[in-house]
Structure 1
């Protein structure tokens, strides 16, 4: 069984930034958390330390009453953040934890743009996004607060792959919702147009990562 953090380490974890998970503590405390997999050191200056998913779970866990045996830790489903593309049978939970995960994922994507785009631009998609079109578009929408559809597609967005290279389809049942999604994607560096399916006349958005 994994040894619980010390009281001093727990205070550092509890005092982490509620959104980004940024930590403040002594070098010894931070190094100990990194060694235990509860924190990581950002590779770029100023080399701040942040909670890992395991560290976030410890901070969110309710302290047991004295004398109560701790419950075994449950691993995170899949262990990797996944943006909601819409239509999931069992979508990730709502609430502060999900908000924090989405915010951190979006900030990480902006940092990836800065590091990998030749000119360091963060206002247009990077190479990773061009090879993960559905996830990238869905993250942009979820990070901006749009609601993904559940199993019933009548309320919320759905992002789907298309036969066209570097293009995804964004389905939203209302004209207002399509306009809002289009604006969000354009602000995130995507080119967006609205089209109608030939057979049904259903309106949808076609979005591609902008290159310049």
Structure 2
């Protein structure tokens, strides 16, 4: 029976692009995955590595103790973007869940950013902007808005601009606190006013450097 991948190899598999299966990591680890039949090296430059069907099956298998969770992915944990109904599980358990997801995000940054940096967003966050920004806010203790349109709290929404989300918070001081949190988490955030409603909001995008 084939030995299961090591913890380091599993981390690479878990961090692969969710759509293409593209892998990033040390050459020795990638070569080991190729040898196990879990990845292949593309014949054309830049000769990137991708998961094979067997590699995808490993990724989709039940998580083991070494698995790195990908926060806010499809299914499982999802950060609150604001506007959701309150859930029965809210409270200390939710707080622990959010903090764990944020630590998982930092680990994902370390593994997938080319220089291993954890102070700026990674590729997963850039492809899940709303959920990523919401996770940074919720993990820092900001309160998401409830289902009632008049509820206070933040609301993170998509925008027509590439790589940018809008963050709404009716309380001006809380809005500025959201901006500080996002900037600390590796985002750029500027405050703007909607011409029609005069509502203040943040336009935030992941920092690249």
Cα distance, 1:93 vs. partner?
A: 2.7
Deviations 1:39-75 (A, max 9, x none): 722169xxxxx9xxxxxxxxxxxxxxxxxxxxxxxxx
**How many residue pairs are counted as aligned between the two chains?**
143
Mapping 1:44-193, distance limit 5 Å = 80-91=76-87, 93-153=89-149, 154-193=151-190
Cα distance, 1:79 vs. partner?
A: 5.4
Cα distance, 1:152 vs. partner?
A: 2.4
Cα distance, 1:184 vs. partner?
A: 0.3
Structure number with greater Rg is 1
Cα distance, 1:95 vs. partner?
A: 1.7
User: Structure 1: which 5+ runs fail to align?
Assistant: 1-36, 45-49, 51-77
TM-score, normalization by structure 1: 0.63
User: Structure 2: which 5+ runs fail to align?
Assistant: 1-61
TM-score, normalization by structure 2: 0.64
- Out of 35, 41, 45, the position equivalent to 2:65 is 41
Q: Which 4+ stretches in 1 moved above 4 angstroms?
A: none
RMSD: 2.0
Aligned to 2:118, the other structure's residue is in SS state coil
Contact 1:124/1:189, CA 8 A, preserved across alignment: yes
Cα distance, 1:90 vs. partner?
A: 4.1
Cα distance, 1:198 vs. partner?
A: 1.2
